[in-house]
Amino acid sequence: MAIIKPFRGILYNPQKVNPHDVMCPPYDIISEELRESLYEKSPYNVVRIDYGKNSKEEDKYTLARKYLESWLKEGILIQDKHPCFYGYEIEYSYKNKAKKLRGVIGLIKLEELGKGVYPHEQTYAKPKADRLNLMKSCMANTSIIFSIYRSKKRITSQIIENQSSPFIQARDLNGNIHKLYRICSDTDINAIVEDFREKPIFIADGHHRYEVALEFKREMSALYPNQKDAAWNYVLMFLSNIEDDGYLILPTHRMVSTSMPIREALKANENLFDITEVSPSEDLLDIIEQMGPCHFGLYINSKAYILRYKGPVPEHLPEELRKLDVTILEEVILQRIFPKREVCYDIDIERGLRMIREGKCDALFLLRATDVEDIERVALAGLRMPPKSTYFYPKLLTGMIINSFRENL
C-alpha cells in the first residue's frame, strides 16, 4: 500500500552547534512562554523556522525561509549527499519504567487519505493554514509526521536495532534522549522499501501536516502537471512498528466551562449514568483504567466522582465509533447535556485541577487511554474520532531532520 523512499536529509551539524540547544518540541504544544525561552536558548534553535515570530519588517514565514537558507550557507545545517533512511530512537521513562521508541524516517508518497495512509482524528482549519504558509515559504517539510504500522516480521525494526553509532543525539525538555542514525546501505534501503510495500499506515500525530502536504501537492501539480515524481509528491514521516510496543497512547482529558450546574445536570440524566463519589485522594485515572470501558472520572470543585455510562449505544453513529469512551464523552455527555460549553484539553490532571481551583474551568472529565486496535479499526473504516482522542508519547523533536523540495541546495 505505502510507497516509501530514502532522501537527502537536512541535519544540524554537531560540529557547529550543541544539539540539545537547537531542537524544539512539535509546534502544537509550544506555548508563547516556551517559544520565548527557545529563542533565548540558541540563535540557531529550529523554533525560528518551524514556529517563529513576525518581526517589524517581515512575517514569520519569510523569516523562516531566510533562516533555513542562511543556516545552510553557514554550515549550521548540512544536507546529506546521498539518499538515506534514518533510524530514530528515543530513550524515555514513564512511571519509573524505562522504554525505547524506535522507528524509521523516510519519505512517503502522498495519497488521498484512506488509500494506504489512514487518519483517525478530526482536524481544525486554522493550524492547517499556518502549516501551508510555512511549507510554501520554505519549500520543505520542517517537522516530522508520527505514524504507526504493523509488521510481525519486524524487518525494518531489526535494521534500526542493529544501528550502533548515532549521527546526532539530543535531550528534550523532559530529559528523554533522542538519537538519529543514517541508514545508507543499498541492502538495508531495499529491505525497508519492500517491508512497507503492503503495509497500511496510520497517522498518529500530524494529521494537519499530512492534509497540508496533500493540499500543497495539489497546488504544485496544477502548476507543474508533468512533474509526476516531483519532491512535493512525498512527505516526511516517522514510522514506528506497533509490534515493537515502543510508544504510549495517553488520554487527553477535558476541562469544561459552562453556565450550567454540572452536578445537577448529570443528576437530571441519571438514567444514563451511575454517579459514585470517591475520595479526592484516590487515583481516579487508575480506578477508571481498571474498571474498563464506559467509565469516566470527574472532578467538580474539591469533589471527585466516577461516572459509569449505562445508557443506550449512540445508534446514530457508525458501529466502529459507538462504544469508544471518547465518543460517549463527546457525543452523549458534553454535546447532549452541556450544549453551551467551552472545552480545553490536557494530559496533565494536576494542571486541570489547578484550573478548577483558580476558577478557570468548572469541571475536569478524565478519559481512559484509547487502544491502538481501536485506532486501526476506526481508521480502516474510513472514520475519524473526535479531536484530541489520542496523545502519542514521547513526542518527536523538531529539528532532528528536515526534508527540502529543492533538488540542489
Give the pLDDT confidence of 360-378 residue by residue, as tens digits. Answer: 999 999 999 999 999 999 9
Determine the Cα–Cα distance for residues 166 and 97; give it in Å rounded to an integer. Answer: 23
- The percent of residues above 90 in pLDDT, for the chain, comes to 84
Q: What is the mean pLDDT of residues 309-337?
A: 90
Q: How confident is the model at residue 408 (pLDDT cuts 50, 70, 90)?
A: low
- Non-local CB neighbours of 164 within 8 Å, separated by 6+ positions: none
Q: Is the pLDDT of residue 409 over 70?
A: no
344, 361 in Cβ contact below 8 A?
Answer: yes
Identity of the amino acid at 314: P
Q: Is the pLDDT of residue 407 over 90?
A: no
Closest CA to 33 of 141, 173, 143: 173
Determine the Cα–Cα distance for residues 269 and 323; give it in Å rounded to an integer. Answer: 19
Tell me what pLDDT residue 313 has.
83
Q: How many CA atoms lie within 13 A of 70 on its CB side?
A: 11
250, 391 in Cβ contact below 8 A?
Answer: yes
Q: Is the pLDDT of residue 95 over 90?
A: no
Q: Is the pLDDT of residue 325 over 60?
A: yes
The dihedral over CA atoms of 14, 19, 22, 24, expressed in degrees to the nearest 10, equals 140
Closest CA to 397 of 21, 96, 72: 21
Q: What is the DSSP letter of 397?
A: P
Residue 31: CB atoms within 10 A of its CB come to: 9
Q: How confident is the model at residue 183 (pLDDT cuts 50, 70, 90)?
A: very high
Q: Is the pLDDT of residue 228 over 80?
A: no
Tell me what pLDDT residue 358 has.
94
How big is the CA angle at 37 (ends 35 and 41), to the nearest 5 degrees?
115
Q: What is the mean pLDDT of residues 82-99?
A: 96
As given in the structure block, the three cell numbers for residue 388 are: 484530541
Identity of the amino acid at 139: M
Please give the mean pLDDT across all residues of the chain: 94
Closest CA to 330 of 402, 253, 233: 253
Q: Which residues pair with 206 in a beta bridge?
A: none
Q: Which residues pair with 234 in a beta bridge?
A: 109
Residue 222: CB atoms within 10 A of its CB come to: 8
Checking phi first, is residue 368 left (phi over 0); if not, alpha (psi -120 to 50) or beta? beta
Determine the Cα–Cα distance for residues 68 and 44; give it in Å rounded to an integer. Answer: 10
139, 406 in Cβ contact below 8 A?
Answer: yes
Residue 386: CB atoms within 10 A of its CB come to: 18
Q: Strand locations in 268-312, DSSP E?
A: 273-278, 295-300, 303-309
Q: Is the pLDDT of residue 136 over 70?
A: yes
Domains in the chain, CATH or no CATH each: 4-247+393-404 (no CATH), 252-368 (3.30.1760)
Closest CA to 236 of 70, 399, 20, 67: 399
Tell me what pLDDT residue 263 has.
87
240, 148 in Cβ contact below 8 A?
Answer: yes
How big is the CA angle at 22 (ends 18 and 28), to the nearest 5 degrees?
155
Q: What is the mean pLDDT of residues 377-396?
A: 94
Q: What is the mean pLDDT of residues 242-256?
A: 96
H or E element at residue 292: none
Closest CA to 256 of 314, 381, 342: 342
β-strands 117-118, 201-205 pairing = parallel
